[in-house]
Structure 1
Amino acid sequence: MASLSLARKKKNNVSRNAAVERKNLITVCRFSVKTLIDRSCFETIDDSAPEFLNFASILEQILSHRLKGQLTWFGYESPRSFWDYIRVACSKVSHSCICSIENMENVSSSRAKGRAWIRVALMEKRLSEYITAALRDYKTTRRFYDDGAIVLGEEANMLAGMLLGLNAIDFSFCLKGEGLDGSYPAVIDYTPYLKFTQSSDSISSDEEELRTLGSSGSESSTPENIGPPFTMDENSWYNKCKRVEQKYRLTLEQKGYLEELVRLREVQLSDSVTQNKLLLQRIKDTERSHKLEKEQLEYIIVELQDQLKSFHRLGHLSADASLSQISFDPGHSQDGNGKHEGSRLGGGKEETPSLLGLCGSLTSVASYKSLTSLKSSECLASPTTEMTSPGLTPS
């Protein structure tokens, strides 16, 4: 029982530490995005900016959180970089930079390619789009990450929303610098995000400060409380005003950040509406073209059927005409025994084979007329003309 309780307690501690780690990484990422936005108001962000280097390290840690290793043939698990996951999960993104980064000559290691992808995606203002497309492919994400990873939890949606604000920044990076060296791991500097507070005697909550300011203002409206209290509490008044001013600036920056997010969402919505209209118009055009093609095919089928019927009709008519012409030919009358009467001519001569072949191929009146012209041209005489022609005597 004691061993079971110890194992359960150890498991609870591990899950609690993992939850704290995920929460800390997401919180630090939010702070780094905010510092990048603040820094971009004064100068261009490049590889030398410490805010960007810290952000790139944080994002690399998030994408590498509980990433599975690659199993080898011998059953060992070799380490893997987050670029292997991004390369597969973002392969279907239209006009992506995956192929260009994969073919870079000066970048060889997988970690260096992942860092180059972060920089190119920031310059393209599409980092949030890539992350969103990768998280949508849940099957691939599940295959690359273990349980408890940030990309498999609820924090993943927060990550995509935070990265959307970086589209308002113009980045300028060199893809041949030392920042792409994949030999050293990503190290996060937490010192810019640590909060140092004074003692509880000199600092109160924001509600108490506002209440004190309001009450002091109401008391100072009376003439008897203007002099000594104001001179005595001058330092405390100055500190309170400084804190309120700082709180106001933070609220103003958050307001600008949220306005930028709303503007980006409106642009995405308008683009989606435009694409939807184009797709609907394309569907209508396709249906119209399919309908026209169907009507044309039906018309062609009807024409072919009519031509087939007329062809059969002409075949029957030609067969009847050939039979009638053969029956009316005087040189081809048959007796009761099926032999031709004029098989032998007056001198014991037979008809030529060419004449018999031509007579057997007669199929129309036109061909019969051509036969008569052929007879006249070749000077082939019938038995009667042969008997009566001058210069010939019957044998």
Structure 2
Amino acid sequence: MAALSLSRKKNSSRNAGVERKNLITVCRFSVKTLIDRSCFETIDDSAPEFLNFASILEQILSHRLKGQLTWFGYESPRSFWDYIRVACSKVPHSCICSIENMENVSSSRAKGRAWIRVALMEKRLSEYITAALRDYKTTRRFYDDGAIVLGEEANMLAGMLLGLNAIDFSFCLKGEGLDGSFPAVIDYTPYLKFTQSSESISSDEEELRTLGSSGSESSTPENIGPPFIMDENSWYNKCKRVEQKYRLALEQKGYLEELVRLREVQLSDSVSQNKLLLQRIKDLDMNHKLEKEQLEYIIVELQDQLKSFQSLGHLSADASLSQISFDPGQSQDENGKHDSSHLSEGKEETPSLLGLCGSLTSVASYKSLASLKSSECLASPTTEMTSPGLTPS
């Protein structure tokens, strides 16, 4: 058991060393690609070389980062911004306070990504990293043993980043690249071409030629003897080197095949999502058309009802006017009522007029009766009996 645990520790330490070396190597490649890209165009958030570099630097600064202990003894994950904020607080004229007070950036990981962009635009990324690495107590407090920032690779990292000061960066601090919910993913595909240079390829070809020539010479009976035994070790070493390079190429081939498979899966998912979105758009368009037709029908119906109400109002007004014009008695009664009311009011105001009107009417009637009697000379029995010359029979 002790031997097994010891071998596991050795394997883990060896894997950690390989991981550190690979991250530093890939970071050097990314810096080189950024410098090459800057010769032709300005580097911004849309450049894939910058996105890959930012992911690599984020993973380097997050390598074996300690978690934050809570009151209950649990360890919660922590971002590299917590380390940078403390370690670079004494840097003169730093951007730490401005990034800490940014309103549109809330999470710790998003603030760390904003710091990388601001430091690159200020051409001070190497200065910040150097100042943070000099504060060894803070670095030791935030990172576990075996971290890149605690090893010899940290000095290489600071010198590597110094070449980025020659590049003019232009970033927007409100884009999707600052979203702290997505992890930093490194794409190793652009850096596979750096695994073998022209010298290594020529050396491989020479080794294959020597192996082929040695094999063909050894097949002849002239070369059978001590030289064959003396060169056996060199042949074995050459075969081992070729085998290692073949395995490396095979691993790269497997990585590329896996990458192609993942891209195919993503493509199929995107195609299915596109179909669902198109179907949803069609359904929404159909519902929109139906709602539009219903609203148009409702508008037409309301317009008809409004017209009918207006026609009914005109008819009722005409009917009331005609009723008033064809009912004179009512108007006379109303006028008489008004006149009587006025008269009553006048009588109340002048009560002596009543007697005056009565006397005038009595005098007129008396005079008319007297004139009627005198003009018509009506005969009466009394006059007949009292008239002279006539005797009763």
TM-score (norm 2): 0.51
Quick one: distance in 2 between partners of 1:34 and 1:217? 42
Residue aligning to 1:385: 383
Quick one: distance in 1 between partners of 2:215 and 2:227? 12
Q: CA deviation at 1:97?
A: 0.2
The C-alpha deviation readout for 1:313-343, integer Å capped at 9, x for no partner, is: 9999999999999999999999999999999
C-alpha contact 2:121 2:169 (8 A) present in aligned 1: yes
| C-alpha distance 307-68 of structure 1, shift in aligned 2 (>3 A) | farther
The C-alpha deviation readout for 1:191-222, integer Å capped at 9, x for no partner, is: 00113899999952299699999999999999
Quick one: distance in 2 between partners of 1:18 and 1:339? 118
Quick one: distance in 2 between partners of 1:16 and 1:248? 22
Mean Cα displacement is larger for which, 23-32 or 246-255? 246-255
Larger gyration radius, structure 1 or structure 2: 2
The C-alpha deviation readout for 1:287-333, integer Å capped at 9, x for no partner, is: 99999999999999999999999999999999999999999999999
Residue aligning to 2:136: 138
C-alpha contact 1:325 1:364 (8 A) present in aligned 2: no
The C-alpha deviation readout for 1:339-373, integer Å capped at 9, x for no partner, is: 99999999999999999999999999999999999
Quick one: distance in 2 between partners of 1:260 and 1:307? 70
Q: CA deviation at 1:244?
A: 22
Q: CA deviation at 1:76?
A: 0.2
C-alpha contact 1:47 1:53 (8 A) present in aligned 2: yes
Quick one: distance in 2 between partners of 1:270 and 1:377? 134
| C-alpha distance 62-207 of structure 1, shift in aligned 2 (>3 A) | same
The C-alpha deviation readout for 1:176-202, integer Å capped at 9, x for no partner, is: 000000001000000001138999999
Q: CA deviation at 1:175?
A: 0.3
Q: CA deviation at 1:139?
A: 0.2
Report percent identity of matched pairs. 94
Quick one: distance in 1 between partners of 2:148 and 2:200? 39
C-alpha contact 2:347 2:353 (8 A) present in aligned 1: no
Mean Cα displacement is larger for which, 379-388 or 200-209? 379-388
| C-alpha distance 380-123 of structure 1, shift in aligned 2 (>3 A) | farther
Quick one: distance in 2 between partners of 1:191 and 1:143? 35
The C-alpha deviation readout for 1:54-73, integer Å capped at 9, x for no partner, is: 00000000000000000000
C-alpha contact 1:60 1:82 (8 A) present in aligned 2: yes
Q: CA deviation at 1:160?
A: 0.1
C-alpha contact 1:61 1:186 (8 A) present in aligned 2: yes
Mean Cα displacement is larger for which, 269-278 or 110-119? 269-278
C-alpha contact 2:68 2:78 (8 A) present in aligned 1: yes
C-alpha contact 2:148 2:154 (8 A) present in aligned 1: yes
| C-alpha distance 100-330 of structure 1, shift in aligned 2 (>3 A) | same
**Which residues of structure 1 form unaligned runs of 5+?**
none
Equivalent pairs counted in the alignment come to: 393
Quick one: distance in 2 between partners of 1:367 and 1:135? 141
C-alpha contact 1:322 1:362 (8 A) present in aligned 2: no
Quick one: distance in 2 between partners of 1:224 and 1:233? 15
Residue aligning to 1:110: 108
Structure 1 runs (4+) greater than 2 angstroms displaced: 1-8, 195-395
SS at structure 2 position matched to 1:201: helix
Residue aligning to 1:238: 236
| C-alpha distance 78-369 of structure 1, shift in aligned 2 (>3 A) | farther
Mean Cα displacement is larger for which, 255-264 or 236-245? 255-264
Structure with more of its chain in helix, by fraction: 2
Residue aligning to 1:311: 309
Q: CA deviation at 1:277?
A: 71
| C-alpha distance 347-197 of structure 1, shift in aligned 2 (>3 A) | closer
Larger RCO, structures 1/2 (Cα 8 Å, 6+ apart): 2
The C-alpha deviation readout for 1:254-308, integer Å capped at 9, x for no partner, is: 9999999999999999999999999999999999999999999999999999999
Does residue 1:267 correspond to 2:265, yes or no?
Answer: yes
Mean Cα displacement is larger for which, 139-148 or 287-296? 287-296
| C-alpha distance 376-126 of structure 1, shift in aligned 2 (>3 A) | farther
C-alpha contact 2:347 2:354 (8 A) present in aligned 1: no
The C-alpha deviation readout for 1:30-69, integer Å capped at 9, x for no partner, is: 0000000000000000000000000000000000000000
C-alpha contact 2:45 2:51 (8 A) present in aligned 1: yes
Mean Cα displacement is larger for which, 141-150 or 198-207? 198-207
| C-alpha distance 25-372 of structure 1, shift in aligned 2 (>3 A) | farther
| C-alpha distance 350-179 of structure 1, shift in aligned 2 (>3 A) | closer
Quick one: distance in 2 between partners of 1:296 and 1:357? 81
C-alpha contact 1:113 1:180 (8 A) present in aligned 2: yes
TM-score (norm 1): 0.51
C-alpha contact 1:54 1:189 (8 A) present in aligned 2: yes
Mean Cα displacement is larger for which, 183-192 or 268-277? 268-277
C-alpha contact 1:131 1:160 (8 A) present in aligned 2: yes
The C-alpha deviation readout for 1:55-99, integer Å capped at 9, x for no partner, is: 000000000000000000000000000000000000000000000
C-alpha contact 1:332 1:341 (8 A) present in aligned 2: no
Q: CA deviation at 1:163?
A: 0.1
C-alpha contact 1:318 1:363 (8 A) present in aligned 2: no
| C-alpha distance 355-394 of structure 1, shift in aligned 2 (>3 A) | farther
C-alpha contact 1:321 1:365 (8 A) present in aligned 2: no
Quick one: distance in 2 between partners of 1:376 and 1:92? 146
C-alpha contact 1:343 1:351 (8 A) present in aligned 2: no
SS at structure 1 position matched to 2:361: coil
